[in-house]
Structure 1
């Protein structure tokens, strides 16, 4: 994996996304070792938001300011760096006001430990409240043909405040190639892979242009296949901060597999 990450850099990859909960901890250590020789040439994003014990037990959500500070110190150590380029709240903690979260991250920015603040799986309301305290640089939500949740209020908030949208699982968790609407250069998807050939393929995808007919066929594919439902189990769906939606079919419906 270390060799793979370095080969990805050689192929032109410059942005890498990780989190303390991945492993837990192991992924940050791997990313830190792999990117140490080229640290000044890449962007590293990581995330806080879970109550993790030193041995990796996950005790649920927490974004208490003291936990954020401790999480960042741990991430810096594992990533072998003195700053995190983009720090996300991994999931919105309903027990901690988002204003307190943004304030804690702002202090880390002032200390030079963090360069930019992001949110993950956040609703437009949360985005707006956080942005009022400290600028939100990026929002990372699942977004593909199978999961259209960001369309509407979230995308509108991102456009209004010049916030980058970073879709994860843009290929529908490997089921089908995903797409976003034309004219949205602030959308930066995260394709996941373990193979260098796929890295080259993903980088090459930036040169692909879809016709209106292709877009219509891809959009209709979801309806044609009849795939509907939640994208996580009940527990993990309960961790998502989502905008209220009207029921019924349409482009804002949630599709998943």
Structure 2
């Protein structure tokens, strides 16, 4: 890549982006900025207005192949953290404004799930995004049981349940057809072939357009794909968790022409560099305090990884979060990360990742550096890890 001479930290980046963010929180100023930026879009995907710049995304990627191919923006948006599992969050109006901003900046893939809330995250996505259904796609997930608005901790992918969850998701998302319906976790009591056939029937009925699976094994992917072709697999994948590179999942996706969607691509915010061992996370609406990797001693040790990302990014003008996202994007052309955020400045930061590129040798240098820092702490507690597909 052409080296950017500007040294930049995430904190410094956010101070710069805050100038744009402040303007965009005021409706008249927002309209003036957007009118100017739309008129002066640059080839790099960044809109410019005077001294202020607002990042946007024009690059697209394709998940899946053939009849189930799915054209989406190269970066998506994970809706979950706007009101679930990420502590104190903005009020509903602010969340809707941020989602609208993502649409205006070119994001076309938004991800939610029935279990997020439960239900309230889908409701938020429906209220905010249904008016753009001709421009964007909202994907959701079934498979984790919700009874009377509460998660039970069980999996339920019986055909009748899938059908009911499909109808409920269509209503909450205010859609006539689901762009993609993922199985969130495999149900050990229902053969995957039966799940796939149920989805195939829903596709014939026009209620589902495509489907995917989350946190699933390569063998199960093959079985499901043989019955009803899959568009995407969604699993955790980032510089601190690379299991899909070694367990056959990425290999089978490439072989069968299935796309891959990494969730938590910045490791739940950790790789951005804003979390340390003294960070207070609200356990009433944040799952991170219960994760082994977010215990103080693990954070203290894993901070070496964040430092390495910052050292790699600084001479290239990249923040640690941008390094993490760019690393994923260069892995395969059919990988589409879905970072989430509650802040306009972080959305700006994420989208500007598209402005950077590094050589294969540079990425190898980063990976070699990180190999010296073993990751401390599991990503999930034992009970949650047991729900991962084998």
What TM-score do the two structures reach when normalised by structure 1?
A: 0.89
Root mean square deviation, CA, Å = 1.6
Counterpart pick for 1:32 among 95, 109, 126? 126
Q: 1:238 to 1:222 in 2, by over 3 A?
A: farther
1:202 aligns with 2:371: no
Q: Which residue of the partner structure matches residue 159 of structure 2?
A: 65
1:126 aligns with 2:126: no
Unaligned runs of 5+ in 1: 243-257
Q: 1:18 to 1:5 in 2, by over 3 A?
A: same
Measure, in 2, the Cα distance between the counterparts of 1:138 and 1:206.
22
**More divergent stretch after superposition (105-114 vs 215-224):** 215-224
Q: Which residue of the partner structure matches residue 364 of structure 2?
A: 216
Q: Which runs of structure 2 are paired with 1:1-257 in the superposition (5 Å)?
A: 1-152=95-246, 153-176=248-271, 177=321, 178=324, 179-180=327-328, 182=330, 184-242=332-390
Q: Is the 8 A contact 1:146 1:222 kept in 2?
A: no
Q: Is the 8 A contact 1:88 1:118 kept in 2?
A: yes
Q: How many angstroms does 1:32 deviate by? A: 0.3
Q: Which residue of the partner structure matches residue 246 of structure 1?
A: none
**More divergent stretch after superposition (135-144 vs 215-224):** 215-224
Q: How many angstroms does 1:184 deviate by? A: 1.1
**More divergent stretch after superposition (221-230 vs 76-85):** 221-230
Measure, in 1, the Cα distance between the counterparts of 2:332 and 2:262.
12
What SS class does the counterpart of residue 347 from structure 2 fall into? Answer: helix
Q: Is the 8 A contact 1:84 1:115 kept in 2?
A: yes
Q: Is the 8 A contact 2:329 2:337 kept in 1?
A: no
Unaligned runs of 5+ in 2: 1-94, 272-320
Q: Is the 8 A contact 1:11 1:200 kept in 2?
A: no
What SS class does the counterpart of residue 139 from structure 2 fall into? Answer: strand
Q: How many angstroms does 1:204 deviate by? A: 1.8
Q: What whole-Å deviation, never above 9, does each CA across 1:151-186 have from its counterpart, x for those lacking one?
A: 141111111111110001111222224323746100
Measure, in 1, the Cα distance between the counterparts of 2:100 and 2:360.
37
Measure, in 1, the Cα distance between the counterparts of 2:140 and 2:370.
32
What TM-score do the two structures reach when normalised by structure 2?
A: 0.60
Higher relative contact order (CA 8 A, sep 6+): 2
Q: Is the 8 A contact 2:114 2:169 kept in 1?
A: yes
Q: How many angstroms does 1:106 deviate by? A: 0.6
